[in-house]
Chain A
Amino acid sequence: MEEKMEEIEDRYTKIFDAYLHLQTESYEMITRNVAINNWMRDIYDRLKENPEMGIDEINDMWGDNFWKIYENLFSMFFRPFKVVTYPFGELMEAQPEIFTPESLFGIYSDFFRMFGESQLRLLKGFSDVFKGYGKEDDISARMKELLPLNLLRNMADEGNETYFEMLDKIFEYLGESQFLLPKTFFVNAHNFSAAYSKIYGLWRRYELMFRGVWEKSLQKLASWIDGNREAKFEEFFNTFRDIFSEEYDEILRSKEFIEAQNKIRDALTDLTGSAENMVEAQMEMFPVMPFAPRKEVDEIEKRVYNHKKISNALERRIADIEKKFDKIPDELNVLKKKMEKIEVKGEKNE
């Protein structure tokens, strides 16, 4: 038992050392590539063991391994989209049969409810500030109703009628409760929701392009294998690399891909911008939060930058003037010598 523990400890230390030692991205890619290498070798060994396999059988045999390779290869690029589209992606993969537009909307609203509740918990931390405005419970309830994301939930749970009633109520509150949440918060919450709902669809389309090329490349590799049964592992690996590179190069340069990439990037940028603006709006409303919002810090940075430009320009002008002054002693010496010569000439003439 003790030996086993030592082995575990030793293994842990070695891997942790490597983690600290390597660039984070290198650690990730090396880890993934150890697995990729072994899956490739497993595919190759099975091809060797069954030289009679036809193309369809080859495709069945290596499907799993190649999809694991695909996931590992692109995970670094896909991560931001996966994070943003969570939990849709996870749920879709887990139980695709139960998803209807209605159930999706339920998931969507649940997610926002969770988001809204986490905000509420944060707000409760500052509830003392509002005690002057009324009882704490009233304020929490009011705040909760004010969160626009809960509107969506109510729409899904209770139907449009309730939703419209709530909407009226909310707009009543908006008129009288400017001190709670500023307009910019609601505008940006709306923009945030709009961007968020766009991203999942865009992401699916973007990812399908990568999948499509992978499938096409796999077919090509299978055909190559069919005519090169005696190939060595390195040759097999290099052919995989060449075929897939060429196919991806073509799609990555295509108008269709660039359009999809730009759209998803724009949606992510909108989401980030709206989220930042929402946080800023919240910060501005809490007097107990002694932090300057981004836009104010930005203004300070701009002023500092402009002053620095002015001071640099002044510095350069002073240096130029100094250079001119440095030349004056030399010029004076020349003049002095000229004067001396004139004096000597004068004396001689006398």
Chain B
Amino acid sequence: MNEDITFLDVMERLSTIEADVWQSSFDVVDEDGIFRLLHYHPLVEKRYKDPLLVVYAFINRPYVLDMSPDISVIRKYLEAGFDVYMIDWGYPTVVDRYIEIDDYVDYIDKSIDYIKWIDEVNKLNIHGYCLGGDLSVIYTVLHQENVKNLMLQATPIDFSTDNTIAIWARSLNADKIVDTFHLAPGDFLNVGFLLVDPINLLVGKYHGVFEMLEEDRSLANFLRMEKWIFDAPSIPGETYRQYIKEWYQENLLMKNEFKSHGKKINLNEIKVPLLVLAATYDHIVPIESQKVILDLISSKDKEIYEMKKGHIGITTSRSSHKEFWPKAIRWLEERSKKV
């Protein structure tokens, strides 16, 4: 578009585009406070015995994995014939300020117990995304007998990297923030993520939109992404305190010194097959932070698939869905028992 654009033209155009998210249908099979366990409706006949549990981060919302009809990781799993569950960590408020990392791990355990009981299985597959990957790692160390295969997508293990977000996090006074606000507000977190790269995220991105005002599908995907970016839940105060102090500032996970349920989480105890799904240009979780787990665990069956994308692009880009995700799903299929 080479002409000057008018505010009215743009607004009129954007208001005609529907930006629906949560594409696949599901049932809420369990609820515990703000936490929910979702069970997706199958799209094809079940092909694999062991179900898959997707554990998303406690930052942002999990529907990024099922954002548009043609770009959906959840849909890909369903089409492959997996029985898919996902945990939704909800929108914490001040009431939830005391929720800590152990409570997230407990809910993974509760969900897995439920899935084992209802599906009559002994083990299941876990796909952890970003900080959901860290929760999955902790769970696996504590309850390895329940985990068949572990997939970690853009999961930070080494928090001592020199990306801007990590540098800022290491200098934060988490105690002061938590003691005053009782949680880390979603808007506060969002400002942090945007300020890391203000020119590209607040100007460059929107300039691109004006170039695609005629394309319905691209516009819809843009608006879906906008909805997701600004739909940022808060983090419960005690979780935020641990996340900043114990993960970013003390790097305890990496040092095998993080404690959950009174036990030191020694990553070396992990023996299950592991696939690391890494984003090469991730400015939130640098690739070296994602890769390091391969050197820390005892699993003999471990691999890394790398995609030349950023933290979110690995999930939402069309190119990732052409080769990367089919390859990742094949990895899981090869290690899953057929029905």
Task: Mark A residues whose CB is within 8 Å of B.
Answer: 11, 14-15, 17-19, 21-26, 29-31, 33-38, 41, 69, 73-74, 76-77, 233, 237, 241, 244-245, 248-249, 252-253, 258, 261-262, 265-266, 269-270, 272-273, 276, 298, 301-302, 305, 308-309, 312, 319
Known: A31-B7, A34-B5. 19 other contacts (CB 8 A): A18-B11, A23-B230, A26-B227, A35-B7, A37-B4, A38-B5, A73-B202, A73-B203, A74-B198, A76-B202, A237-B207, A241-B199, A248-B198, A249-B197, A253-B164, A258-B168, A301-B95, A305-B98, A312-B106
Is there contact, CB below 8 Å, between B198 and A37? no
CB distance from B300 to the nearest CB of A (A): 31
Taking the closest CB of chain A, its distance from the CB of B263, in whole angstroms, is: 15
From known contacts A34-B5, A38-B4, A244-B199, infer whether A26 and B230 are also in contact, taking CB-CB under 8 Å.
yes
Docked pose: A36 CA to B164 CA in angstroms = 26
Chain A residues with CB below 8 A from B179, complex form = 273
Among A22, A233, A244, A269, contact of B15 (Cβ-Cβ < 8 Å): A22
What residues of A have a CB within 8 angstroms of the CB of B220 in the complex?
none
Report B8-52 CB contacts with A as 1/0, cut-off 8 Å: 101110110000000000000000010000000000000000000
Inter-chain CA distance A37–B171, complex, in Å, is 36
Q: Which residues of B contact A (CB under 8 A)?
A: 2, 4-8, 10-12, 14-15, 33, 94-95, 97-99, 103, 106, 110, 113, 164, 167-168, 171-173, 176-177, 179-182, 190-191, 194-200, 202-204, 206-207, 209-210, 223, 226-227, 229-231
The majority secondary structure among interface residues of chain B is: helix
Q: What are 7 pairs between A and B in contact, CB < 8 Å?
A: A24-B230, A76-B194, A248-B198, A252-B164, A265-B177, A301-B98, A305-B99
B12 touches A77 (CB 8 A): no
Closest-CB distance, B310 to chain A (whole angstroms): 14
Q: Which residue of B14, B177, B197 contacts A21 across the interface (Cβ within 8 Å)?
A: B14
| Closest Cβ–Cβ distance, residue A301 to chain B (whole Å) | 6
Q: Is the CB of B164 within 8 A of A241?
A: no
Question: A191 to chain B: closest CB distance in Å?
Answer: 12
Complex-state Cα separation, A101 to B9, whole angstroms: 49
What are the 3 closest A-B residue pairs judged by CB atoms, nearest first? Answer: A18-B11, A33-B206, A18-B15
Contacts of A270 in B (CB 8 A): 180
Q: CA of A319 to CA of B117 in the docked complex: distance in angstroms?
A: 11
- Report chain B residues within 8 Å CB of A308: 33
Q: Tell whether, in the assembled complex, residue B223 and residue A26 are in contact, meaning their CB atoms are under 8 Å apart.
A: yes
B177 contacts across to A, CB distance below 8 A: 265, 269
Q: Are A22 and B98 in contact (CB under 8 A)?
A: no
CB atoms of B164 and A249 under 8 A apart: yes
Does A14 lie within 8 Å of B15, measured CB to CB?
yes
Given known pairs A33-B206, A33-B207, A34-B5, the reply for A245 and B172 (CB within 8 Å) is no
Residues of chain B within 8 A (CB-CB) of A41 are: 4
Known A-B contacts A29-B206, A34-B10, A272-B181; A301 and B199 likewise in contact (beta carbons under 8 Å): no
Flag if A245 contacts B199 (CB, 8 Å).
Answer: yes
> Per a CB cutoff under 8 Å, which of A30, A77, A244, A252 touches B14?
A30
Name the A residues within 8 Å of B210 (CB-CB). Answer: 33-34, 37
The CA of A269 and the CA of B10, in the complex, are separated in Å by: 38
CB pair B98–A30 under 8 Å, yes or no, is: no
Q: Is B98 in contact with A14, judged by CB distance below 8 angstroms?
A: no
How many angstroms between the C-alpha atoms of A30 and B223 in the bound complex? 11
**CA A233 – CA B171 in complex, angstroms?**
40
